[in-house]
Each structure stands twice: as structure tokens, then as C-alpha cells.
Amino acid sequence: MFLQRTEIREQTIEIREFAGEGRVEIDERILFDDKDSHIVVLLEILAGDVTFTLRGPEVENLAKGLGDRVRLYVMPPARRAYDAFLEIRAKAGSRFRAIIARIGSTFAAAASELPCRACKQVCKLLVSTVLATVGVPDLQDLAPGDLLQITAEQSYELDEGLGHAGIHGPLAEGPIGTFLALFADNVRSVVWSTLQTAQQVFQPPDRIYTFACRRLGCCP
């Protein structure tokens, strides 16, 4: 059994990330008490038998083309305070990742003031969320020397969602569009440029996110 938990708490953002192997049980509370924040839940089964149960809001799985292996839920600000709960049950021989994030409506205005560690987590969250939406495996699943393989349609959707001053196309619709709008134009552009780099010469994900954060002014 192995469970690693990483937690980032800043004024405009909160990210909890779990990476587990083997027999693991998690019961995590998600509090909807901020009328100005989006909640994002990204769940990935990497191997074996893992059961995810989200109790609370009825929301659509926005991950496309990845079957039951990846689930993505984006929830807009709540009209009233209530609790939700994420249950994770992993059996022996399993591996999984899970991210629970809260993004405030004023995040874009304060993004350049984030410490480096938080900035990298934000870039990672944005990349992972958008890749799941268009059906591309996460950067973290690539081995050294691998390239990010995407189709022309997926490339177009990523470009629309991250590379332009405004958000257009399929990624502009529904909760994913309002979520992307929380990120300033320069944040989306920088993250998109790092994805383009990953398609040409793959580097370890942490180095990619560090490069993005330096361009945003958050890393030294």
C-alpha cells in the first residue's frame, strides 16, 4: 500500500492531489461553501481495480474517449452551501491518481503572485483537465523519450481552448468553458506552448510545468 497526498492552499486556489498504489481507501469531504469558486474533480485509474464514488451533485463526466479509466467533473459555484464526498476504493495491484481543486473567480488577477510550487500545480491541473476533455492521455503517463500523440481534431480543440485570446469551439461550451475562462489569456497561451513542446521533444512533466511557470513569472 502506498498513498501520497499533496495539498496546495492559496487565497484563490486549493488543490488536493492523491497518488495511490495497492489497497487504499479514501473518504474525502468536498465542501461547497464558496459562491464564487469552481470545483474540479479529476480521477484516473492507471492500473487494476479502483472504484470512485462521488456523492453529492449530479454532474456529467466531461472526459472524452477514455472510457471509465478517466473521469472529469467541473462544477460551477454553488447557490447554497452543502457537502459532497469522494470515496476511493483501490484493490491490491491497483494504481490511481485523483485531484480535487477549488478555483476562485479572482484567480486570474492574482496568478502572477503564486509561489512556484502552487504555480506548477495550477499548470498541471489545467493541462490534465483539458487533455481529459479532448481525450488525450495525461502527460504524466508518458515515459522519457515518448511524444504526446494527438489527432488533428484534438490539436484543434486544444488550440481553441488554450491558444487564443478568447475561448472558442467545443471547449467554450458548458462548465468546461466557464472553468477555462477563470485562467487569464497568458496562462492558457503559456500552457499551450508547453504542450506543443511535449509533442516535439518530450521532457519530464515537472520540467515542462517549471518552464511554463517561469514564463508566467512565478518561478525564479
Contact 213, 119 (CB under 8 A): yes
The 2-9 sheet, strands edge to edge: 2-9, 13-21, 95-104, 37-47, 70-75
Q: How far apart are CA 149 and CA 33, in angstroms?
A: 39
Interval 127-136: pLDDT, tens: 888 889 888 8
Tell me, yes or no, if the pTM score tops 0.75: yes
Q: What is the pLDDT of residues 1-59, one digit of tens each?
A: 789 999 999 888 899 999 999 999 999 998 776 677 888 999 999 999 999 998 877 78
Handedness of CA 206, 203, 148, 178 (dihedral sign): positive
Spatial distance between the Cα atoms of 126 and 212, rounded to a whole number of angstroms: 12
Please answer whether residues 101 and 39 qualify as being in contact, where contact means their C-beta atoms are separated by less than 8 angstroms. Answer: yes
Reading the block at residue 193, the C-alpha cell is 506552448
Give the three-state DSSP class for 216. helix
Tens of pLDDT along 197-210?
A: 666 555 666 676 77
Residue range 113-166, pLDDT digits in tens: 778 788 888 888 888 888 898 888 777 777 667 777 788 888 888 777 776 667
* Cα–Cα distance list, 204 to 25, 65, 143, 171 (Å): 29, 25, 8, 27
pLDDT at 69 over 60: yes
